[in-house]
Structure 1
Amino acid sequence: MNARLVEQEGFAALMLRLRAEGISSKELLNAVEQTPRGLFVPPQYSGEAYTSRLLPLECGAFIEGFDFAVRLLNSLNLKPGQRVLEVGTGSGFTAGVMGRIAERVLTIERYRTLVTNAQRNLEKGGVRNVIVRQADGSVGLAGEGTFDRILITAAFDSLPRVFSDHLVSGGVMIVPIMMGPSQCRVVRLSRTGSRFDREDLFTAPYLPIVPQVASFL
């Protein structure tokens, strides 16, 4: 069975699983379909591109299970024309999907190796409106203004004010919060004027955020 057929069958099975979870946004599902997962996983895992389990990346990082990644993006409720910040680029897959919908995506990553790989993956996928930058995701992003949506894929001990200040009124931030030494939960923060509304969503596999950019990797 060739790789393209494997990917098609994997994607079809994924669509069935997502619909069973109630994920039906046409914009999101179209963006997912236009962003082949096989371009973003390491070559040795190409046959598992649509698996629901974590897959390892370089630098000790990982790419989320595909179902989880789409559920995360669905929670963001991304709309065309919006400006997005992602903290934790990884393989570049979620940034690539968001780039199919949003006007502009800025994604930051502490590892230079992952930045380089993600840029290559996005180029192969034909995504042109995603900027990948090496930066320290623990301290915010001074000088970049505000965003309509913020997606964070490393866990904080509490809601990070340094990023909530980057949200416009009407904006949404998805952030994992450590609930204990080994328990992490995804939280959605919605801003209306100066008020922030919090909603706890689902458990997540993320690890605590690591400060500073990596020196060697």
Structure 2
Amino acid sequence: MSDLTEKKARLTMSLRAQAILSSPVLSAIESIPREIFIEPALKQHAYENASLPIACEQTISQPYIVAKMTEALELTNRHTVLEIGTGSGYQASILSLLARRVYSMERHRPLFVEARNRLAELKLTNVTLRLGDGFSGWPEAAPFDRIIITCQVDKVPDALIQNLKPDGVLIAPIGPPGKEFLTKLIKKGDVIHTEQLISVRFVPMIPGIENA
């Protein structure tokens, strides 16, 4: 067993100990090689339960947060998912093993290009990426069964609520920067039911597109 394989096994045990109980989610975490989504110099840290820096002053979330957000979505293989904030592409790759179709938006062109290459390397053909402004949503592909926002928002943009199907679930870090809570929203007609899950820290969601 390689060193990385041993570390991955320990990570899975750690996630179970932290009450990540969904077998499909744990299996997806085990199946996706996190080391290809980070800088080579940080490869030895791939299976530590820690966020790590990536390009464009962004981060790849710690595996526990990825697992927690994914589990909260309650995905099935019938669901179509919209992700706001592709980043490295790691979260999208996890989602791709659990959902029917994944659409993911990224505002930083370098991250978009790198993520597209990684997903192609893994032959994950049910993921569609777009360089775009997440505040606008993805109306052409809407409505979505599930939406996941991987950056801090003070409130969920109206366009994303409109992109969500009735009875759909949206997961996002909501609140002032540094004081946000991972929050689960369920759309019931014109009413949005919310449940705060855990305190988290994410980089903020910013409008527009960055080409450099």
- Scaled by the length of structure 2, what TM-score is found? 0.94
Structure 2 unaligned residues grouped into runs of 5+: none
Does structure 1 residue 132 correspond to structure 2 residue 138?
A: no
The answer as to whether partners of 1:36 and 1:125 remain within 8 angstroms in 2 is no
Q: How does 1:88-167 map to 2 (within 5 A)?
A: 88-167=85-164
Residue 41 of structure 2: which of 40, 44, 47 is its match?
A: 44
Where does residue 23 of structure 2 map in the other structure? 26
Gaps in structure 1 of 5+ consecutive residues: none
Contact 1:76 1:173 in 2 (8 A): yes
2:82 is aligned to: 85
C-alpha distance in structure 2 between counterparts of 1:194 and 1:34, whole Å = 38
Quote the residue 2:180 is aligned against: 184
Question: Hey, what's the Cα distance between the residues in 1 that align with 2:130 and 2:52?
Answer: 23
Deviation at 1:169, TM superposition (A): 1.7
Q: What displacement does 1:166 show?
A: 1.1
Asked if the contact 1:23/1:71 (under 8 Å) is kept, the reply is yes
Find out whether 1:7 has 2:1 as its counterpart: no
SS in 2 for 1:59: coil
> Is the Cα–Cα contact under 8 Å of residues 39 and 125 in structure 1 kept in the other structure?
no
SS of match in other structure, 1:13: helix
Deviates further, 84-93 or 205-214 = 205-214
Q: Give the C-alpha shift of residue 182 in structure 1.
A: 2.7
Contact 1:39 1:124 in 2 (8 A): no
Please tell me whether the aligned partners of residues 53 and 65 of structure 1 are also in contact (alpha carbons under 8 angstroms).
yes
Q: What's the RMSD between the two structures over aligned residues?
A: 1.4
Which deviates the most, 121-130 or 78-87? 121-130
TM-score (norm 1): 0.92
